[in-house]
Amino acid sequence: MATAHLAYVLLFLVTAGLLFRLRRLLPAPANPTAAHCPHPNPVLGNTVEFIRNRRRFFDWYAMLLRDSPPGPACPADVEHLLRGSFGNYVRGPGFRVAMSELIGDGLFAADGRLWKLQRKVASHAFSSRALRRFSDDVLAVHLRRRLIPFLDAAAASGDAVDLQDALRRFAFDAICHVAFGVEAEASTAAADTRKREALFAAFDAAVEISFRRALTPPTVVRKVTRLLNVGASRRLRDAVDVFDDYAMSVVESKESQSRMRREEDGDPDLLSRFMAAMDDDDDDGEQLGAMFPTPQAKRRLLRDVVVGFVLAGKDTTSSALTWLFWLLAANPRCERRVRDELDGDAKGMQQHYLHAAIAESMRLYPPVPFNGRVAVADDVLPCGAAVRAGWFANYSAYAMGRMEKIWGENCLDFSPERWLRDRGDGEFVGVEAARYPVFHLGPRVCLGKEMAYVQMKTVAAAVLRRFSVEVMAPAADMGSPPAYEMTATMKMKGGLWVRLRKRE
Ligand code: HEM
């Protein structure tokens, strides 16, 4: 299954020199939705097809899985990989090395005991009290101060704006607030705005370079550029310096606050929570602290933890919302139902149709479309595929969301009703995570899922209540879906250009 295809991908990487030349001779498909069937070559495997489909990799991958026997993208395999045989499938050293400058030893890159201890400390940050604080303080403040005024101005001018960009900036501010406890009041000052812009750009650059590295084996060129500090290595180091300076200055200023003060705060930000846990006698925090015994090492870990969280929250919710707005524009009947629900529900979060529309939008366009692990020992997956120690074992939420045998004949339609009881009129009903692994599952399931839903519903409701959204580009037509960027998260290529009109 996935591993076999990934082996072809790796084959491509090994023969990169030859194929670089070949690439010039093989233009990408003119029609981005046209399928290219694999005709595996005994030497090159699917390499040529890989190159032809490189700009629509997730669709190509979905097609390969659909056509491969036995049990492609089978939910039982995903369950086995991420829960049943959790100990046998790890992040792996390759991912850790590629991501080391970005997230170091933080939760997202860690395996084993280091991961477990961090996960326990972090999980306290997602209590229901923390969620309430998130929606009452963080979201409300950033909506009122930044997003809504920006959209109001766009509506008043009549100019088209890139909604994806606005949503990404909003998500970045919100997650920085949660991770570092950055005060919203300070963020309107010109100096803070400049700092925020620099941070935003640095994060983008560092994520792009690190993920590219995670997908390709380390080359001599990379080692040399790193040594000489030129090219992408230089850009990565410069970007990392920007947020290192920022994270370290926040860590230092928090260290100078008294412990008493932190306790008075009641519901601390993530950084303060990790700082307190590592200083406390609490078992998990103490063990974690013991793994980073010097003040410098502790600070470094704190920086790694918060940077990882910013990474988790920055592009995921904004990606989901971008596709949601596009899909609603392409399906006016569904948009009308969302608006009717919102107009009839002044305040509450019981918006079942909106919730279903978001879940449905992430089925077709999951913010994390592709994810992988490395096998520690040989294994056989429930649906029959053999896996050898050291192989990649991947799953694609994008491919699974488009499988007829999982979602039925209308799997490519946008139909929020499929998530609602009583033929689409009742409350939201979820499905097993193995069929819909958008938030992962098992011990490493997304900790921010509830928070993400609260954020997505709050933002979507705030925008749709206040504005009518006319999509200018890419055209809102289910027959010609927008292109996406080949990044870690599902970004709409070129952005989502809309014209807003204030509703009465
Ligand atoms: C629509 C929004 C989101 C989606 C689709 C999503 C998806 C995911 C996925 C697929 C993973 C598994 C990563 C892996 O182990 O390979 C994950 C893990 C995680 N996510 Fe999210 N996420 C979202 C939003 C958030 C937000 C807003 C936060 C934080 C505020 C967050 C925090 C986390 C954390 C802490 C983990 C667990 C890491 C671990 O134990 O290794 N996520 N998420």
Residue 179's Cβ-side half-sphere holds a number of Cα atoms within 13 Å equal to 23
Ligand 1: centre distance to CA 88 (Å)? 21
- Residue 495 CB–ligand 1 contact under 6 Å: no
- Residue 471 CB–ligand 1 contact under 6 Å: no
| Predicted pLDDT at 283 | 74
* CA nearest ligand 1 atom 16, residue: 371
For residue 4, give Cα distances in angstroms to 51, 234, 241, 267, 388.
17, 35, 39, 47, 11
| pLDDT average, residue stretch 58-83 | 83
Share of the chain above pLDDT 70, in %: 86
Based on C-alpha coordinates, what's the Rg of the chain? Answer: 23
Least confident range from 66-75, 125-134, 483-492: namely 66-75
| Predicted pLDDT at 267 | 65
Least confident range from 25-29, 259-263, 366-370, 418-422: namely 25-29
* CA nearest ligand 1 atom 6, residue: 439
Mean of the per-residue pLDDT values of the chain: 84
| pLDDT average, residue stretch 472-496 | 94
- Residue 446 CB–ligand 1 contact under 6 Å: yes
For residues 253 and 399, which has the higher predicted lDDT (pLDDT)?
A: 399
Mutate to test the pocket of ligand 1, among 78, 374, 436, 446 (most ligand atoms within 8 A of CB): 446
Ligand 1: centre distance to CA 414 (Å)? 24
The full set of domain ranges for the chain reads 1-68, 118-313, 316-502
Give the DSSP H/E element, type plus range, for residue 352: helix 352-364
| pLDDT average, residue stretch 175-197 | 71
| Predicted pLDDT at 15 | 37
- Residue 78 CB–ligand 1 contact under 6 Å: no
* CA nearest ligand 1 atom 27, residue: 313
Question: Residue 249 carries which side chain, given as an amino acid letter?
Answer: S
Whether the CB-CB separation of 325 and 163 falls below 8 Å is answered with yes
| Predicted pLDDT at 182 | 65
Ligand 1: centre distance to CA 229 (Å)? 32
Whether the CB-CB separation of 437 and 400 falls below 8 Å is answered with yes
Question: Residue 344 carries which side chain, given as an amino acid letter?
Answer: G
* CA nearest ligand 1 atom 40, residue: 444
For residues 60 and 482, which has the higher predicted lDDT (pLDDT)?
A: 482
Task: Decide whether 118-313 matches 316-502 in CATH topology.
Answer: yes
| pLDDT average, residue stretch 73-102 | 91
Q: What are the pLDDT digits (tens) for 250-262?
A: 888 888 765 545 5
For residues 93 and 432, which has the higher predicted lDDT (pLDDT)?
A: 432
| Predicted pLDDT at 488 | 84
| Predicted pLDDT at 459 | 97
- Residue 103 CB–ligand 1 contact under 6 Å: no
| Predicted pLDDT at 185 | 44
| pLDDT average, residue stretch 117-126 | 89
- The dotted CATH code for 316-502 is 1.10.630.10
With bands split at pLDDT 50, 70 and 90, how would you rate the model's confidence at 37?
Answer: very low
With bands split at pLDDT 50, 70 and 90, how would you rate the model's confidence at 38?
Answer: low
* CA nearest ligand 1 atom 3, residue: 316
* The two structure tokens encoding residue 261: 């003060």
* The two structure tokens encoding residue 185: 């009041």
Ligand 1: centre distance to CA 2 (Å)? 22
**pLDDT score of 22 more than 50:** no
For residues 159 and 71, which has the higher predicted lDDT (pLDDT)?
A: 159
Q: Does domain 118-313 have CATH number 1.10.1660.10?
A: no
- Rounded-to-5 percentages of helix, strand, coil across the chain: 65, 5, 30
Atom of ligand 1 nearest to the CA of 108: 41
| pLDDT average, residue stretch 428-448 | 96
Whether the CB-CB separation of 421 and 429 falls below 8 Å is answered with yes
| pLDDT average, residue stretch 184-206 | 76
Biggest CA–CA distance in the chain, Å, is 67
Long-range contacts, 212-217 (Cβ 8 Å, 24+): 213/98, 213/99, 214/94, 214/95, 214/98, 214/99, 216/13, 217/10, 217/13, 217/14, 217/94
Q: What are the pLDDT digits (tens) for 345-379?
A: 655 557 999 999 999 999 999 999 999 899 999 99
Q: Which residues contact 422 (CB under 8 A, 6 or more apart)?
A: none
**pLDDT score of 17 more than 70:** no
Please name which of 318, 297, 235 lies closest in space to residue 489, comparing C-alpha atoms: 318
Atom of ligand 1 nearest to the CA of 119: 40
Ligand 1: centre distance to CA 436 (Å)? 14
| Predicted pLDDT at 264 | 52
Please name which of 280, 201, 232, 287 lies closest in space to residue 101, comparing C-alpha atoms: 232
| pLDDT average, residue stretch 71-75 | 72
* CA nearest ligand 1 atom 18, residue: 446
For residue 83, give Cα distances in angstroms to 305, 366, 397, 431, 434.
24, 20, 16, 16, 10
Atom of ligand 1 nearest to the CA of 367: 5
- Residue 116 CB–ligand 1 contact under 6 Å: no
Residue 37 annotated in ligand binding:
no
**pLDDT score of 32 more than 70:** no
Ligand 1: centre distance to CA 312 (Å)? 6
Ligand 1: centre distance to CA 315 (Å)? 11
With bands split at pLDDT 50, 70 and 90, how would you rate the model's confidence at 409?
Answer: very high
CB atoms within 10 A of CB 30: 6
Give the DSSP H/E element, type plus range, for residue 501: strand 497-502
With bands split at pLDDT 50, 70 and 90, how would you rate the model's confidence at 268?
Answer: confident
Q: Which residues pair with 465 in a beta bridge?
A: none
- Residue 367 CB–ligand 1 contact under 6 Å: yes
- Residue 154 CB–ligand 1 contact under 6 Å: no
Ligand 1: centre distance to CA 449 (Å)? 7
Long-range contacts, 239-246 (Cβ 8 Å, 24+): 239/201, 239/202, 239/203, 239/205, 239/206, 239/209, 240/101, 240/102, 240/202, 240/206, 242/198, 242/199, 242/201, 242/202, 243/199, 243/202, 243/203, 243/206, 243/307, 244/303, 246/195, 246/199
